[in-house]
A and B are shown apart, each in its own frame.
Chain A
Amino acid sequence: MSIDSMFVHKMWDDHELSKMVEGGVPFPMLSDAGGRVGKVYGVYDEDAGVETRGRFIIDPDGIVQGFEVLTPPVGRSVNETLRQVQAFQFVRASKGTEATPSGWKPGKKTLKPGPGLVGNVWKEWKTQMAFD
């Protein structure tokens, strides 16, 4: 979503993005003229008149589970976004019985929060795992 019109989105997809992604962008490219949606989400820069790089993970109940906002010159990590979505999906599927510690990726060790884990995380999780 940006402040550009849907017509400009079409031109960008036709003339540039379709040269990077076969068949063009598959998902909706939304138009937010005047930044009205961006204001509500806290990503509209009034002075520049544009939206900053905001990214929101919204779950199937419409709840915001996470967000990240960057200034324009720095791009995002798609891999990190996907990792977070996978983690939120995993936690949701476990109905809150499991949690993903720092550095978690699919297939790696999770934690089961409860009285037995208090003061014992050091036995289950090593600092190195944050950097794996």
Chain B
Amino acid sequence: MAEEVKAGCARPTGGPVGEPAPETTEDIQMEKKEAKSMIQVGKKAPDFSAPGYQKGGFINVKLSDYLGKWVLLCFYPGDFTFV
């Protein structure tokens, strides 16, 4: 039976159910350690390229294309969220 999901500010997500195999858990923990932040003020912003939408068109944006300009890079939990 499906249960109703209470809408909150975090996006509801699913995942595998049950106990993961021990070796898988280890892998995930290793991955998490590697993924720690490399951002430091006064240091270079990591370059990236990403698809996106702007004013009616689909685009591809590369951060380094904005060299020479001030950039505000904002992340948020998800479209259609409430805050």
Contacts and interface: CB of A to CB of B under 8 A. Distances in A.
Interface in B24-66: 32, 35-48, 50-55, 58-59, 61, 63-64, 66
Interface residues of A, number: 62
Interface of A is mostly: mixed
A29 B52 contact: yes
B35 A46 contact: yes
Contact of A49 (B9, B11, B73): B11
B72 A81 contact: yes
Contact of B79 (A4, A26, A46): A4
A65 B42 CA distance: 6
B41 A4 contact: no
A58 B79 contact: no
Interface of A: 1-4, 6-13, 16, 23-32, 36-44, 46, 48-67, 72-76, 81, 85, 88-89
